[in-house]
Structure 1
Amino acid sequence: MKAPTARSLVLDPQALSLLLRNDRGMVTRIEAARRVGVPVRVSALTVVEAAYGKTDTARLHWVLSRLQVQDVTQADSLTAVQLLSDAGGLHGHKYAIDALVAAMALRVPAPVVVLTSDRDDWSRLCGDRVQIKDV
């Protein structure tokens, strides 16, 4: 049986960073998602984590204009607390942003594909509720 088509593509900070650097592979993946009508989503927190001093501001604004930037909600914060607890009591100080981005990924239309450089964290936080693809 064929897996259901993704309804959301979520980028982690490394995936967004690659997109900001115009990485050919990442650009190709994003364009493929767009062609089939899958929204590409990124948490507002991911933007902060992916951008750094050498990030081209104009490029950042252009890339973000083509993505669905998701706000962090109070519900996300409560879900993140539960995800950290369910993952064996991960410490919020180290995993706070990952947990909040995971909470956002769990509230957008499923099935969700997450492009990440950190498969272990996503597996611990979301289990099989998202499909994890390495960047």
Structure 2
Amino acid sequence: MTSQTTPSPAACKRRKPTRRGLLSLGLLALGTALAAPHRAHARSSKESDMTTHPYLGMWVTGDGHVRHQLLPNGRYDEARGSRESAYRGRYVIEGNHIEYVDDTGFTADGDFIDGVLHHGGMVLRRVAPTGTR
């Protein structure tokens, strides 16, 4: 009967990396490097599409308490009452659906229906920019 012992932590630290471990690490790094330009390109083309998107601008609840500013760079700034920039984060619009991810990681979504944004039980209407009609 052979007994197997677990190496000490110090012994584990002294081990040389195996070929398999190095190969796996190399493939992981290569895959990440190859995927990164594609993701960056996809992001930049989406951002350029957002510069003229019809849903950009300020969206406000009827009582003016909640205000969402959808910015052309894919970011949003939400004010609540007298608290400006209460929440900030990024958003993605696909068709008439919007997905929000705030800077803390909280997610939410909404839908644009007949020119109105329905989000989290609220109804927000777009406010025309100052100086335009």
Q: TM-score, normalised by structure 1?
A: 0.21
Determine which structure has more spread, i.e. the larger CA radius of gyration.
2
Q: Which has the higher helix share?
A: 1
The higher relative CO (CA closer than 8 Å, separation ≥ 6) is in 1
- Higher strand proportion: 2
Report the TM-score, using the length of structure 2 for normalisation: 0.21
